[in-house]
Chains A and B, each alone.
Chain A
């Protein structure tokens, strides 16, 4: 699961991340446009104390583990890469995309490629267009996509850019996002089990 956000994202994540239960069925990868490493590090530490999920900063080569939320570090693009049975986080300094690094598009494109129909893309409050192409990649891969609604967003540009690409399954007020997401997780887990 990938979450993208920028302006207003810290407050939004404080509202929803504690609502996600700790299970062994999913991990959350978060790309947030913030220039200050201190702010991202502090946010991850605070949320780790508030959440059932383990919340940590992503590092290059780190294995993606269920029950964990990873914040992508400032000034690096982040991608998921499949190596046999495991998925690792790859950080790089490729040029900025949509003026930003980490780019939500870069992260979501890689999540779509690795997790395909099991991927979930969520865009929260934020400025700019970043994330819309990534959401489309997740949708095209058979995954599920959701954006925060305008009324509960500080800024809804990122969400509306995705809506304009016709790649959004549902638009919800912030407080309803965790419950809907977990419903999708359960459905995808059931589908996988049925296939096995």
Chain B
């Protein structure tokens, strides 16, 4: 069975690009176009890895992580944040054990796949 990755971003173009990178490596990719869609579908999808944008209009990626943590699902999912912001705010330091990597946009295919592969 192939490993499942969920890509969460409000920009469909980004989701499609990341999905094509990952599918090319044999992963099964599920997408969510925003934080709420991610929360609604996470249990059904049950991904091994979550690749999530930070800045989304409905709720930011850190808020999504807090909700997933409260739902009790975050302990079983690896998380990589995708963001244009170089440094997260200190107020999210308690989420540090859940976020295995933090990739700054623009990212390149080689670096993204290297970081994903090392976690899978």
Within 8 A of A (CB), among B86-103: 87-88, 90, 92-103
Nearest neighbor of A157 in chain B, beta-carbon distance: B87
Distance, CA A10 to CA B100, complexed state (A): 7
Q: Mark A131-165, 1 if CB is under 8 A from B, else 0.
A: 00000000000000000000000111100000000
Distance, CA A6 to CA B81, complexed state (A): 13
Partner of B93, one of A35, A98, A154: A98
The segment out of B1-9, B10-18, B32-40, B70-78 that lies at the interface is B70-78
Distance, CA A10 to CA B102, complexed state (A): 11
A81 within 8 A of B: no
Contacts of B98 in A (CB 8 A): 35
Contacts of A100 in B (CB 8 A): 96-97
Size of interface on B: residues with Cβ below 8 Å to A = 24
Question: A33 to chain B: closest CB distance in Å?
Answer: 4
Q: Do A11 and B87 form a contact, CB below 8 Å, given A99-B96, A127-B93, A128-B96? A: no
Main secondary structure of the interface of B (DSSP, over half): helix
A58 within 8 A of B: no
B110 within 8 A of A: no
Does the CB pair A10–B93 fall under 8 Å?
A: no
Does the CB pair A99–B94 fall under 8 Å?
A: yes
A129 within 8 A of B: yes
Partner of B118, one of A14, A36, A98, A128: A14
Does the CB pair B118–A157 fall under 8 Å?
A: no
A39 within 8 A of B: yes
A-B contact pairs, 6 of them (CB 8 A): A7-B99, A8-B101, A36-B78, A100-B96, A128-B90, A155-B88
Q: Mark A5-27, 1 if CB is under 8 A from B, else 0.
A: 01111110010000000000000
Does the CB pair B97–A34 fall under 8 Å?
A: yes
Question: B85 to chain A: closest CB distance in Å?
Answer: 10
Contacts of B93 in A (CB 8 A): 98-99, 127-129, 157
Contact surface of B with A, Cβ cutoff 8 Å = 74-76, 78, 87-88, 90, 92-104, 114-115, 118-119
Main secondary structure of the interface of A (DSSP, over half): loop
Q: Do A39 and B78 form a contact, CB below 8 Å, given A10-B101, A155-B87, A155-B102? A: yes
Q: Do A127 and B96 form a contact, CB below 8 Å, given A35-B75, A155-B87? A: yes
Contacts of A6 in B (CB 8 A): 96-97, 99
Partner of B97, one of A33, A154, A155, A156: A33
Does the CB pair B90–A157 fall under 8 Å?
A: yes
Q: Which 5 A-B pairs have the closest CB atoms?
A: A128-B93, A127-B96, A99-B94, A35-B97, A33-B97
Does the CB pair A39–B119 fall under 8 Å?
A: yes
Nearest neighbor of B93 in chain A, beta-carbon distance: A128
